[in-house]
Amino acid sequence: MAEGDKPRQLLRLVQEGQLDLLQEELSPAATKDLAPGRSGDTLLHHAARHGHQKVLSYLVEELGMDPELFNRDYKRPLHEAASRGHLECVSYLLERGASVDCLKKADWTPLMMACTRQNLEVIKALVEHGANPLLKNKDGWNCFHIASREGHPHVLQYLLDVSPRSWDTESTISRTPLHTAAMHGCLEAVELLLERCQYKPDSRDRCGVTPFMDAVQNGHIAIARVLLEKHQACPTAVDALGAQALHRAAVTAQDEAIQFLVSELGVDVNERVRSLQHTALHYAAKEGHTHTIQTLLSLGADIHARDGKNRSALHTACAGQQAGAARILLQAGLKDSPDATGTLAQELARKPEVLQVFQESNVST
């Protein structure tokens, strides 16, 4: 075997868990000459990542490798084992004295990484060895926040049992676990959080976004209903710019959510954003969401509505170089407005395909 192939061969044996062959290739003296790869991962990292506890114990006990070795991201073997849900490796490393709350890059602990999965036994092992559920990473998330994103109710139940105040946390931009669960569509988690935690209705993050807005703009209508029924969420609450859930749903093209807000909840389809005076139609046109434009028009959106700069939805479509949106608005009747398709709209149209829409619609330039 060529000298340069030796590290790759050893790495493959570790990843495949072939302990017998590894023992033939390695010796305590040989490990001293093994340089980690670009990531800084050692053979210990790879053994822990792939869940080979026997290989891990051989590397530590027979070859004297330090279980606290870290890579370029300061990730230890315990981080690797915890993040992949390998209970035997986690238990072994903890028994060998691995630091339970060691930090990798961005201040993630092994417990936080374990909470990205639903292996409750791994989480229990870490907690029973002293892991602190209240530690936060650089974004201000603790392990409960992370578990809320993943939406595993049994993990959340356990964390609340061992750390009853773990729910009472906010990220660096003031987002709660309820925001996160609603945003990611974790219905069971949302129901659990509303049942066992004491979040204030319509709590706002730094941008003024509520959990209801998060649910709606991501199309999670079932969660929006639960927040309305069990948490007294306000469907017309506004964010820091004065935008409602309706406007945010128009930006993300959530047509079903828009139907829900307008048809079921009675939200005014022509409601304006306080700061810009945009309607939902302006936002859909700017983003080029043609189907959403059609949905809004079918619900009674005012095609002639002007924003604070006296611009119609057609103007925002042209400014965004959205040919499809401009075509629908022209076909829907905007060309019949005296000045809606005047000089300004066409000045905003820079792309040939947008200008062509005006020509096709027989609008004079």
Question: Residue 291 sits in a domain of what CATH number?
Answer: 1.25.40.20
Which among 58, 65, 67 has a CA at the least distance from the CA of 22? 58
CB of 86 closer than 8 Å to CB of 94: no
Task: Let me know if residue 219 belongs to a domain.
Answer: no
Tell me whether residue 39 is in a domain: no
Q: How far apart are CA 274 and CA 341, in angstroms?
A: 25
The answer to whether residue 73 sits within a structural domain is: no
Distance CA 329, CA 346 (A): 14
As a whole number of angstroms, the distance between CA 221 and CA 23 comes to 56
For the chain, the helix, strand and coil percentages under 3-state DSSP, each to the nearest 5: 55, 0, 45
Q: Cα(56)–Cα(14) distance, rounded to whole angstroms?
A: 9
Residue 130 has, within 13 A of its CA and on its CB side, a CA count of: 8
Assess if residue 35 is contained within a domain: no
Domain total of the chain: 1
Q: Is residue 365 part of a domain?
A: yes
Distances (CA, A) of 222 to 111, 136, 188: 30, 30, 11
Query: Which CB contacts under 8 angstroms, 24+ apart, belong to 326-329?
Result: 326/285, 326/354, 326/357, 326/358, 327/357, 327/360, 327/361, 328/290, 328/293, 328/294, 329/285, 329/293, 329/303
Q: Assess if residue 49 is contained within a domain.
A: no
- Structural domain of residue 331, as residue ranges? 243-365
Q: Which two tokens stand for residue 284?
A: 């859909």
Token pair in block for residue 212: 């209801």
Per-residue pLDDT 10s for the chain (365 aa) are 444 566 777 878 788 877 877 777 776 655 544 556 677 899 999 999 999 999 999 999 999 999 999 999 999 999 999 999 999 999 999 999 999 999 999 999 999 999 999 899 999 999 999 999 999 999 999 999 999 999 999 999 999 999 999 999 999 999 999 999 999 999 999 999 999 999 999 999 999 999 999 999 999 999 999 999 999 999 999 999 999 999 999 999 999 999 999 999 999 999 999 888 999 999 999 999 999 999 999 999 999 999 998 899 998 998 888 999 999 998 887 654 444 445 566 666 677 887 787 777 765 44
Determine, yes or no, domain membership for 253.
Answer: yes
Percentage of the chain with pLDDT > 70?
Answer: 90
Rounded to whole angstroms, the Cα distance separating 356 from 248 reads 30
Tokens of 227: 């927040």
pLDDT digits (tens, 9 = 90+) for 136-194: 999 999 999 999 999 999 999 999 999 999 999 999 999 999 999 999 999 999 999 99
Give per-residue pLDDT as tens, 108-123. 999 999 999 989 999 9
For residue 286, tell me if it sits in a domain: yes
